[in-house]
Amino acid sequence: HVTAIVDHVRATFGEAHPDVLLDILHVAHVMSGCDYTSFLAGIKKKSFWKTIVAMAASDRLQVVLEEGLGRLSSADATCIIGNVRQIKEDILTNIEVFWACLHLTTAALGKLRKSPTTPLPTLRVTRTLCPNVMEADGFPISRNELAQHALRVAFVTRQFEAGTNPTVDGAPEPAGWGWYIDEEGTLQIRWSTGPTMAVHVGVDKAKSCILAPKLL
C-alpha cells in the first residue's frame, strides 16, 4: 500500500510534491482503516488518497491536511478535560473538513480547490454536494464519533512511530483513546460519548460511517 501511494504522489507532483503528503502517510493509512483500528465504510484507500492528493494541490486545503492529519500523531494532539482524553478542538475541526471533502463529488472538490471564497465543508455539508452519502438529517456520523475514531488513529499511529523511532513515546494503553474496559475486563470500542448516529451493524456500504476493525 505504501509503495503504491508514494508512486501515485510522485506521478502527480514529481519530486516537487508537497512535503505534507509524505508527512501524513502513516496517519492516512491508519485513518482509512487498518487491522488495528476502526475503518470507513464505502471509502477505499485509493479514493481516500486521491482526495488527499487533490487537497494538497490547493494552498488552502493543504493547510487543512497539515493542521488536521499532520498533527494527529503529535504528542500534543490530545488534551485531558474532566479526566477524559479528547482530540484538541482545532485539530478535530480540520479533520472534520477533511472527512467532508472525502464525500464531495470530483466537481465539487475541484470548485473548492479553485475558489478561495467557497466555504469549507463540514459534516453537515449540503445534500446537493453529496447526494449519494447523505441522509435527510446529514451524514450518518456525528462529530463525537469522528473524534473517537481520531483518538484511535492517534493511538495506533503513535504506537507505530514508537516502534521505529526511539525518541517517540507510545501511548501506554488503548483505554481512553477511543476504547474502554468493560465490566468483564474486555477492551471495547467507544463509538461515542454522546448519541450515536451511525449504524454499525448491517450498514449500507454506500453510506459513510465508522465500522469496527476488520480483525479483532
pLDDT in the model for residue 215: 33
Burial tier of 80 (Cβ tally within 10 Å: 0-12, 13-18, 19+):
exposed
Backbone angles phi, psi at 32, to 5 degrees: -80, -10
Mean pLDDT of all residues in 91-110:
88
pLDDT for 126-157, tens place per residue? 333 444 444 433 445 678 888 999 999 999 88
